[in-house]
Amino acid sequence: MSDHSHDHAHDHHGHDHTHDGDTYFLDQLCMVGLSAAFGVICLCLYIGKLRQTDGGPMPMLTLLLGEQFHPFVLLSGVALVLVAGVRAFSLWRQAGRPALPHDHDHDHEHCAHAPGEACEHVQAGTPVHEHVHAGEAAHAHGHHHHDHGHHHDHDAEDHDHGWAPWRYVVMLVPIILFLLGLPNKPPSAAPPTEVVKLDNEEEAGAYAMLVGMMAQPETAVPWTAAFYTGLETTDAPQKTLTDLENIAASPTLRDTWNGQRVKAVGQFMPFGATDRMFQVVRFRIQCCGADAVAVRLTIASRGAVNQDKRLKPNDWVKVTGTLNFQQTGNGTIPVLRIPGDAAVQKTVPDSNPWERTQ
């Protein structure tokens, strides 16, 4: 019988343990799901804004961001949905591929040797097994066992094969808030901290003129009606509170607008100490609701306002009156003077609770 020797060289290369199959796909599917969820939320926010009706609830997107950012929300939603779809298709293709087999290199070396002699390539320390075959001389089988080279690039085992759900907890918070419909209310104005002390010299002059005209009833009667009940028929342009602030800050604009009739819309906020003064409040933002700043317009009335309690704090009102300006410690502020309660009308909330900065 011919002599033979088996040299088994096991070289295990290509064992790349960069991920465990199940946890890898689970982690990837979670990321795809979150990306798709954020994309759908962006699209729903934008569509909700388009479907808004007058007097209805204010859209969440309007409450969260300024109008200049709304197109970017739409584009972000479309991009996220597309990326999630492409990645989901890629994972589906990857999951359908068969796993690659282990790469085991078996090197069998044969040599011819006489019966009873060991193979020449058997190194020192290699066990030699004597096999006795019937009718034949014993011969030696030299089994040359090489070390199995397992090359695991684990870098001190610093990578994590497990799936960690806690990584997604923070990203789930905005999704939960959206499902709960939060935020869903516009900002509320705080009560005035102090009553503005107005200069009533112009008002006193008007009263003196009224008293002097009493000798001529045909002139005094219609003028008195206009003074107290606000029956003026002159149309008045509507100004934002920011516009009125800008007018008050400019001497040239103050000279132009002083004594002109204007309309202002905002949230009603009464003074607790008097029924002859209240404020109209709006909020101004730069980019989002978190940086909202209250803009206040002081209203001075000749007669009592809201004695029947028809207006509640933060109700939306439209006020028509005469624009004046008042010097205070912080500069010049606009003041709208009205004849009485008839100049204050309750109105539907503005579709955008924020005043534009320009």
| Residue that finishes a domain, picked among 119, 150, 185 | 185
Residue by residue, pLDDT tens for the chain (358 residues) are 445 444 444 444 444 444 456 788 888 999 999 999 999 999 999 999 998 777 677 889 999 998 899 999 999 999 999 999 999 999 999 987 765 555 545 454 445 555 555 454 444 444 444 444 444 444 444 444 444 444 444 444 444 555 677 878 888 999 999 999 999 888 888 887 766 666 655 555 455 544 454 555 545 445 444 455 444 445 799 999 999 999 999 999 999 999 999 999 999 999 877 899 999 999 999 888 888 999 999 999 988 999 999 999 999 999 999 999 998 888 899 999 999 999 999 999 888 889 866 5
Same domain, 156 and 211: no
Greatest Cα-to-Cα distance within the chain, rounded to the nearest angstrom: 156
Task: Determine the pLDDT at residue 223.
Answer: 46
Q: With respect to residue 268, please indicate whether it lies within any of the assigned structural domains.
A: yes
336 shares a domain with 244: yes
Which of 134, 159, 185 is the C-terminal boundary of a domain?
185
Residues in the chain: 358
Q: What is the residue range of 71's domain?
A: 1-185
Give the domain CATH number at 291. 2.40.50.140
The DSSP element (H or E) to which 334 belongs, if any, is strand 331-338
Between strands 261-270 and 316-328, the pairing is antiparallel
Judge whether 32 lies within some domain. yes
Identify the domain boundary among 133, 157, 185: 185
Number of independent structural domains in the chain: 2
What angle (nearest 5°) sits at the alpha carbon of residue 52, between those of residues 287 and 347? 90
Q: Is residue 305 part of a domain?
A: yes
Residue 126 domain flag: yes
Long-range CB pairs of 294-297 (<8 Å, 24+ gap) are 294/187, 294/189, 294/190, 295/241, 295/242, 295/245, 295/355, 296/189, 296/192, 296/241, 296/269, 297/241, 297/244, 297/264, 297/266, 297/334, 297/335, 297/336
- Could you tell me if residue 10 is inside a domain? yes
Query: Under DSSP, is residue 316 helix (H, G, I), strand (E, B) or coil?
Result: strand
Closest CA to 151 of 10, 8, 14: 14
pTM above the 0.85 mark? no
Token output for 152: 């695991």
Residue 106 and residue 243 share a domain: no
Residue 77 sits in the same domain as residue 116 = yes
What local confidence, expressed as pLDDT, does residue 234 receive? 54
Same-domain status, 155 and 217: no
In a domain, 191, yes or no: no
- 147 in the same domain as 229: no
- Verify that 259 and 149 share a domain, yes or no: no
> Is residue 90 domain-resident?
yes
Q: Is 38 found in the same domain as 180?
A: yes
| 214 and 160 assigned to the same domain | no
- Does a structural domain hold residue 194? no
Looking at the structure, do residues 49 and 153 belong to the same domain, yes or no?
yes
Which pair of structure tokens corresponds to residue 30? 């979670």
Q: Please give the structure tokens belonging to residue 163.
A: 């799936």
Give Cβ neighbours of residue 277 (< 8 Å, ≥ 6 apart): 195, 196, 198, 271, 298, 299, 300, 301
Q: Are residues 270 and 207 in the same domain?
A: yes
Within 10 Å of residue 241's Cβ, how many Cβ atoms?
22
Structure tokens at 302: 């000749």
Going from the C-alpha of 228 to that of each of 202, 207, 301, 303, 340, the distances in angstroms are: 15, 11, 9, 7, 6
Instruction: Count other Cβ atoms within 10 Å, centred on residue 343.
Output: 24
Same domain as 127, residue 16? yes
How far apart CA 43 and CA 39 sit, in angstroms, is 6
